[in-house]
């Protein structure tokens, strides 16, 4: 008999675990918006999901319905989230359009950033913020330092 692996195959050391007001709808959204693949779903009482897992690219994302009685609340119940989930993808423009078409709210349209990525942000229907980026050029430490003196383009500082 073999011993279980401390970090199961296909998992990374850090895995986001998203609390959603409607986990089933969130899974559907992640499939449509980010090309997620549903790996498993454990239904609970009252139609809520106790645990689910999707894969986006090479990463697992765990999802659960909000259970305030277990101190698990979705971002919208707090008025938003300070957490940003970052997706590194081959085509930021295409994934941004796909996410918005699936129901995400655009927070920042794709644009070239000083650190060498083409970058954007969307808000999903459950209140989670997703940054999406494609690396388009390498930037030297000197360029990065010089450019960081004025880091935020106007589009980032405007409320949408």
CATH code of 129's domain: 3.30.720.110
What pairs with residue 121 in β-bridges? 108, 131
CATH code of 57's domain: 3.30.720.120
Which domain covers residue 39, as residue numbers? 1-72
Q: Which residue has the higher pLDDT, 156 or 57?
A: 57
Residue 158 lies in a domain: no
- Total structural domains within the chain: 2
Q: Supply the angle between the helices 92-102 and 23-34 in degrees, to the nearest 10.
A: 140
Residues 125 and 108 in one domain: yes
CA–chain centroid gap for 26, Å, is: 11
Res 153: pLDDT: 60
Share of the chain above pLDDT 70, in %: 94
pLDDT > 50? residue 160: no
pLDDT > 90? residue 45: no
């Amino acid at each position: 008999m073999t011993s279980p692996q401390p970090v199961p195959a296909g998992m990374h050391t850090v895995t986001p675990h998203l609390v959603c007001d409607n986990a089933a709808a969130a899974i559907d959204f992640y499939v449509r918006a980010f090309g997620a693949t549903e790996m498993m779903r454990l239904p609970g009482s009252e139609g809520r999901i106790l645990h689910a897992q999707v894969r986006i690219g090479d990463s697992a994302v765990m999802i659960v319905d909000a259970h305030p009685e277990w101190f698990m609340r979705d971002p919208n119940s707090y008025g938003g989230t300070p957490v940003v989930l970052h997706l590194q993808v081959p085509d930021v423009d295409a994934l941004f359009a796909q996410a918005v078409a699936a129901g995400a709210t655009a927070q920042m349209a794709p644009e070239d950033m000083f650190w060498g990525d083409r970058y954007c942000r969307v808000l999903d229907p459950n209140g989670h913020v997703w940054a999406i980026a494609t690396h388009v050029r390498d930037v030297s430490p000197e360029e990065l330092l010089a450019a960081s003196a004025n880091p935020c383009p106007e589009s980032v500082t405007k409320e949408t």
